[in-house]
């Protein structure tokens, strides 16, 4: 099984996302390889829209981009894991943008993993390197070197695999790489035995580009 994770970040309005879905589903998604699981991670307000649009595709899953570190309760503005059940299957935790711009600590990431697992959802932990520890309960890790994110400077598959050996990954870990993956370099990662998938930022935003990338991944 291969995983292709599309992280839309905070780029889209409601109308943009409706249009994205219309454009993406104008392609024949049944031609895609069902062994590639596509995990679409829109912003919270659009989870329901995505969940409804793609519920009939067994190889398309929905992920949230973040989750509250707390259980439900008096946490204004937070989105607790339990409120995601039924809307998402996966939850991204610890993106470098959150660790850096929102001062997310290792402890907060651990709490988010715990909340996610307790709600029956699957955490995908994003790490920048060996300094970001992997909490108990994580079996899916995306290695995203910060200087590769959004820069066009993707790390070579060989270097990714070498760095991932230093991460102290759990046995049975699903290993994902993220950072400037695109249509031209995606097969470098997917053809490497030690890697199970890729995480896309920019390459998610154009629905036709994403479809083409998926076709390459299906070949």
Residue 27 catalytic? Answer: no
Chain centre distance of CA 23: 21
Examine residue 145 and tell whether it contacts ligand PGA (CB under 6 A): no
Question: Closest approach of Cβ 154 to ligand PGA, in Å?
Answer: 8
Cβ nearer to ligand PGA, comparing 60 with 203: 203
Question: Closest approach of Cβ 173 to ligand PGA, in Å?
Answer: 18
Please pick, among 97, 104, 110, 144, the residue that the annotation labels catalytic.
144
Question: Closest approach of Cβ 204 to ligand PGA, in Å?
Answer: 8
Task: Report the first-to-last Cα separation within the chain, whole angstroms.
Answer: 14
3-state SS, residue 97: helix
Residue 144 catalytic? Answer: yes
Examine residue 202 and tell whether it contacts ligand PGA (CB under 6 A): yes
For residues 61-97, one letter each, b for 16 or more C-beta atoms within 10 angstroms of the residue's C-beta and e for the rest, the string is: bbbbbbbbbeeeeeeeeebbbbbbeebbbbbbbbbbb
With beta carbons less than 8 A apart as the criterion, state whether 57 and 79 touch. no
Rounded (5°) CA angle 32-159-11: 50
Residue whose beta carbon is closest to ligand PGA: 201
Of 41-49, 144-152, 158-166, 185-193, which segment contacts ligand PGA by CB under 6 A?
Answer: 144-152
Task: Provide the binding-site residues for ligand PGA, judged by CB under 6 A.
Answer: 7, 144, 149-150, 178-181, 199-203
Catalytic (active-site) positions: 95, 144
């Amino acid at each position: 099984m291969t995983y292709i994770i599309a992280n839309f970040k905070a780029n889209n309005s409601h109308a943009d996302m409706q249009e994205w879905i219309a454009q993406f589903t104008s392609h024949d998604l049944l031609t895609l390889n069902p062994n590639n699981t596509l995990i679409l991670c829109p912003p919270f307000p659009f989870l329901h829209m995505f969940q409804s649009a793609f519920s009939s595709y067994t190889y398309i899953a929905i992920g949230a981009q973040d989750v509250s570190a707390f259980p439900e309760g008096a946490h204004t503005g937070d989105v607790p894991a339990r409120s995601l059940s039924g809307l998402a299957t996966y939850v991204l935790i610890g993106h470098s943008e959150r660790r850096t711009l929102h001062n997310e600590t290792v402890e907060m990431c651990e709490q988010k993993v715990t909340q996610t697992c307790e709600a029956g959802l699957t955490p995908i932990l994003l790490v920048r390197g060996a300094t970001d520890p992997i909490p108990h309960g994580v079996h899916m890790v995306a290695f995203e070197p910060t200087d590769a994110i959004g820069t066009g400077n993707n790390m070579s598959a060989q270097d990714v695999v070498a760095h991932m050996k230093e991460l102290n990954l759990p046995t049975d870990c699903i290993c994902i790489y993220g950072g400037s993956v695109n249509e031209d370099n995606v097969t470098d990662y997917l053809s490497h035995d030690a890697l199970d998938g890729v995480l896309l930022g920019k390459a998610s935003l154009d629905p036709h580009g994403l479809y083409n990338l998926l076709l390459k991944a299906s070949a």
